[in-house]
Structures are given as structure tokens and as C-alpha cells.
Amino acid sequence: MKSSASKKLNIPDFRFTPTIDKVGVEERVARIQSRSIKKESKVEGMKMALNMIDLTTLEGKDTPGKVKQLCYKAQHLHDHYPDLPTVAAVCVYPSMVKTAKKALGNSGIKVASVSTAFPSGQAPRNIKLDDTKFAVDQGADEIDMVISRGEFLAGNYDFVFDEIAAIKEACGQARLKVILETGELVTLDNVRRASEIAMYAGADFIKTSTGKIQPAATMQVTYTMLMAIKDYYDKTGIMVGMKPAGGISKSKLALHNLIMVKETVGDDWLDNEWFRFGASSLANDILMQLVKQQTGAYQSGDYFSID
């Protein structure tokens, strides 16, 4: 697989990105949401989804103790269902990266960190670069940055491109997820344009939302971003990952997202190297659904820790 740094790209004029057929997108999503999923496929799909989750705590009241508890949960999901995979990553603020890194040890679970003045992105570029470098120096495997939505909406696409490219360089070996904050971009045309800017600037993943703004990861938005990824791959041969985040709390919605991934970009993306869910509460719902499939009865949500 090629990385975004391995090939010189012919950068397009971002003023002229494809126009999105909103009605067509809504019809496509409605067809996916109407699918019924057989029990065996449902169980395998839920395990796959669990392995794609970034367990997340991004609160002003976060403490080392809370982060350690989240890391413990990430490593002990199989206590409920022995053959479960682990989650993909634990996502925290830069100040908590060192704590998470130590708590996760050799588990294989990655540490992701938000940066660039998350969630607003309202800070000078040097602050955003320092934020990113600090997280990487603390041991972050992945960086989730936010784009400057104000600059984007003002039509300053070169500014947004250059900022993402600078953050990508600051990441070093860490993978970069670029958060578009689609709830503030208003239109699917803007979502498509922002997706292209992020990918051509070097994003390893494009991500819908911070989880702080609604609407967040609607299937219409995710489908639009997946189509941008497909077109980018067809043009460049470079894979870019996708991360819907915010509002995905039920396993049924996660399964519909996985169907959409399979049918839009293909099986190669059905792996946590290329697809993630930013949704901590989703893990609990998957656990409850899996236990029901095994025992025939729901367990109370009280049996599972609240993140």
C-alpha cells in the first residue's frame, strides 16, 4: 500500500470539486438502512465493529484515573465475551497521552490524541504545531486534528491545505486523522470539497466530527466522504481511511455503516487500519447485543462500565 508521502500528486483546483446529488445520496443510504442482517453475519459484524472503535474521553474534567479506567476497559472487554477482539485505540487529550501509553502497555491498542486546539481549531498555527508535536513526543500513535472551518467557509482553501500539510509533517510516524466537523460545513458539497483538501494534503484518515457539534456522523455524510475516498484512490492508488464519529451509539447503525463501506470502497477498508468508529458508548451496546445473541436475554446496561 502506498502512503500519501510516497507519490507526488497532481493537486486539483479545490474550487471545482464534484457537485453532490443530495437526493441520490439519501436514496442510497435509505436502501442500505432497509437491509436485514442474518444472525451469523450480525455477530461477525459486531465483532468487526468493536475492533474498529476508538474508545474516547475528551472532557475538561478528565483525570489520570479516568483515563486509566478507560484503558483498563479497552483491555478487558473479553471478560464479558471470551473471543472478542480489542478495540483499535484509546483517544485522549495530549496531556493524557503519557498516562494512556503507560496504562495500555504492550496490549497492541494504539493511543490517539486530539490536537490543533480541539475542538474549535481556533488558534494560531504555531500553537497547533506545538500541540501536535507535544502529543507525538508523549507517545501518541495517531493524531486527530481539526480543520480551520472558518477559513474553509471563507473560501481560503489553500490555507486549510497548507495547515493540514504542516500538521502532517509534525506528526512524524504518527498517522493523521483530519476532522472536518461536518455539522459546521452545512452542505454535502462542502463535505466533499473538505475531504479532497484533506486527502491531497496528506491525511491518513478523514473523520466526520469532534462529537461536540450536531449533526455529526450521519450516514449521508459518511457516504459522501467514502465516495471521495474511492475517487481519490482511483486517481492516485493511495488508500485513505475513514472515521465516522459522533452519534453512533447502537450496533445496528454500526452494521449499516460497515455495509456501506463494503459496497462503496470495498473489503480492503473493512479493517481497523482503514476504518474506525469514534464512539465509546457503541462498545457497550455491542457487548449487550453479543451477550443477547449468546444467551437469548439482554443484560442490564448497569453490568457495563460507563465511560
pLDDT tier at 10, thresholds 50, 70, 90: confident
So which residues are the catalytic ones?
A: 144, 207, 243
Q: For the chain, how many structural domains are there in total?
A: 1
The CATH number linked to 32 is 3.20.20.70
Per-residue b or e along 66-103, where b marks 16 or more CB atoms closer than 10 Å to that residue's CB: bbbebbebbbebeebbeebebbbbbbbbbebbbbbbeb
Q: What average pLDDT is seen over the chain?
A: 92
- For residues 22 and 218, is the Cβ–Cβ distance under 8 A? no
Instruction: Look at residues 98, 89, 84, 127 and name the one whose alpha carbon lies nearest to residue 204.
Output: 89
- For residues 133 and 127, is the Cβ–Cβ distance under 8 A? no
Residue 146, C-beta contacts closer than 8 angstroms, at least 6 positions apart: 114, 116, 117, 118, 119, 120, 121, 179, 181, 210
**Beta-bridge partner residues of 207:** 179, 243
Grid cell locating 17: 470539486
**Angstrom distance (rounded) from CA 289 to CA 280:** 15
What is the maximum span of the chain, computed from C-alpha positions, in angstroms?
Answer: 56
| 296 burial via Cβ count (<10 Å: 0-12, 13-18, 19+) | exposed
**DSSP SS3 for 87:** coil
| Residue span of the structural domain in which 295 resides | 4-303
Q: Can you give the pTM of this predicted structure?
A: 0.92
C-alpha separations of 188 from 156, 181, 275, 306 in Å? 18, 12, 20, 34
- What is the pLDDT at residue 298? 59
**Angstrom distance (rounded) from CA 48 to CA 213:** 27
Cell 458539497 belongs to: 189
Which of 81-90, 169-178, 275-284, 285-294 is the least confident region?
A: 285-294
- What is the pLDDT at residue 299? 58
**Beta-bridge partner residues of 184:** none
- For residues 255 and 49, is the Cβ–Cβ distance under 8 A? yes
- Average of pLDDT values for 110-138? 98
Could you count the other beta carbons within 10 Å of the beta carbon of residue 177? 26
Per-residue pLDDT tens for 233-286?
Answer: 999 999 999 999 999 999 999 999 999 999 999 999 999 999 999 987 899 999
Strands lying side by side in the sheet with 175-179: 54-56, 89-92, 110-114, 142-146, 175-179, 205-207, 241-243
- What is the pLDDT at residue 4? 41
